[in-house]
Structure 1
Amino acid sequence: MQGNGVLPDRALRALIADGGLSASRPIDPDQVQPASLDLRLGTWAIRLRASFLAGQGRRVDDRLPDFQMHRMDLTDGAVLEKGCVYLVPLLERARLPEGLEGVANAKSSTGRLDLLTRLVADGGTEFDRLAPGYDGPLYAEICPRSFSVLVRPGMRLNQLRLKAGDARLTDGDLRALHTRQPLVDGAPLIDAGLGFSVDLTPGPGGLVGWRARPHAGVIDLERISAYRARDFWDPLQAENGRLILDPGAFYILVSREAVTIPADHAAEMSPYLALVGEFRVHYAGFFDPGFGLGTAGHGARGVLEVRCHEAPFALEHGQVVGRLVYERMAAPPDRLYGTDIASNYQGQGLKLAKQFRDN
């Protein structure tokens, strides 16, 4: 076992070799990312009448009779309907050493499709968490919020990060890191993490963001650059640096700050905080080592997946909407995001999921 911190790719490969991470189908080498492992959907899904957690000391299988509506075969592809909740056994399972815990999150494209995807495990009292030493199967709970989607076995909707000990940087640590290697292109707002704000400066054609259309078609997740953006999204313009969010609507916006994640660190968007307004600002929250590097030193802006809640909310240009929590890597990874691996969103600006094209 390496020192405290987030496990890098080489440690994940060693854990796979030792059986700490295994699968019913061999794990593909490209599932191993710089600081996480992509998880794959299995061959069937269960439509649920409600989301649930197994609860302490209980197995997911034992709870299913209370919530199962019907079972679906994914082998030839199946549509997960908007507004419904599904549970899909994953091909991977975990047998973690003591002292090693897991945190999961949706992959970038998953979040940008408003496809709520969370990790569920036996004995779980929280989503997206594996207790230290967890030994058991893994499941994905999937709830399409804006678009119905076509899925197949082996698709990768979420990812697992493993870490030992307390890897989080304090605000003092974060200031020192920024002094050594600038994390943003300007003065950092450091308060329980690195603050980031929304950019409502008009881009080409006055574009500041996108809002999901309420009655769009099905999206086949395997089809890349296959769908015209305006068939699924309405382009948005701001009025005097202000955008009014509608309750229940889903938006794709972009951060004002260009962010850098050094090679020996990783980061995660902190959960929605009610203090910033009546909206949630993240679904896909992992930032790998190397995010923002290799782009002329200017970093890369973070795409914001925003859902407004109970009341209309006026979002202003430059308003702080969330925080990045930085964590130490147990060791630098062998490969960096966007430099040594193909990365769809390196150097990004305002960018929809990879299934969409601009015209």
Structure 2
Amino acid sequence: MTNLMNFFPSRTMSLYMAKMFLVRTFAILAALVLVLQSLDLLTESGRVLAYAGNGDAEIWRYVGLRAPQIIATFLPYSVLLGSIITLSQLNQNSEVIAMKASGLSAHQVLAPLMLTGLVVAAISFTFNDRIVARASATLAQWKKVEYGPLPVDRGDRSNVWVKDGDDLIVVQQIKGRGDAAQLFGITEYEREGQSLRSILTAKTGRRDGTGWHVEGVQRFDVAAGTLMPLAPLRIADGVRPDQFTLASVNADGLSFSGLYEAITDLEFAGRQTKALRGSLWHKLAGPLSSILMPLLGAVAAFGIARSGKLFVRAVIGMALGFLYFVADNFALAMGNLGAYPPFLAAWAPFLLFLMIGEAVLLKTEE
């Protein structure tokens, strides 16, 4: 523990730098949220008020739901700008030179900011998990009803498919939940390996023990080319009701644990979850970018301010930070398309720019 504490500057200097960093970061964030929320209201307030009966209360409700999304989106940008402003001021006031003259390395100078960035990352993760996820889910539902009263979710779903061994079951409509779930418009593609053997259709189905009792049944034999009516029978033994009633998952509207559980259920139902796994990993990688920002902005800290290149160094730090955000969004999009593995889509930009930041720091330190 003593060796770890010796890695940081003095306690007074560390607290001084952390305070500067936090004040500038959250001041920039407050300004960004105020401006962006005002601009967002210019476009959405008309839609909110277009629904009959909506007024000031609904406008403030929209602000309360939209503001957490804006905070979560622009907190990393604020950390980047806060880092650059803090380090530029320390450099301009020759405080960085004083710290280096006392024997501190570049990494030791940055240590208080990176530790503070870890605290900001923890706050960001908790805020996203507890507040942003719920606000995003509610706002998405509110937009679907054009800012009218939110309907009660009774569990009705449509056009759902489930994998049962080699067989595929497609249901046009599901009503209810649990053992009370009812299926309508059932089609079961009965396969042997990858070969289609027959197609079973039924009008209705209900829960029967661990399977489903279906009525109005017909089976089309692919090899014989014949269609045969059948008596009511039991199918899909072992398929749970929640495998049918799983809705499309909005990753932004779920907490980390909620998204993990949804992915587990979807995988058990035989559905693709690569894009959701990328979003799950990004719920960790996104907040941790707060640790990376002081390293990318460190180019503004080192170099003689009197050389006249301090502004250029600050611009380089901003460019590195914004390139990270571009790479992060690109990798996440490629992960959603299935071009990148989920882990790579979430963590590759972080690890890449961590190495770039270290290389630039070692190259530019004077």
TM-score (ref. length: structure 1): 0.22
Higher percent of residues as helix? 2
Q: Select the structure with the greater relative contact order (CA < 8 A; seq sep ≥ 6).
A: 1
TM-score (ref. length: structure 2): 0.21
Structure ID, larger Rg: 2
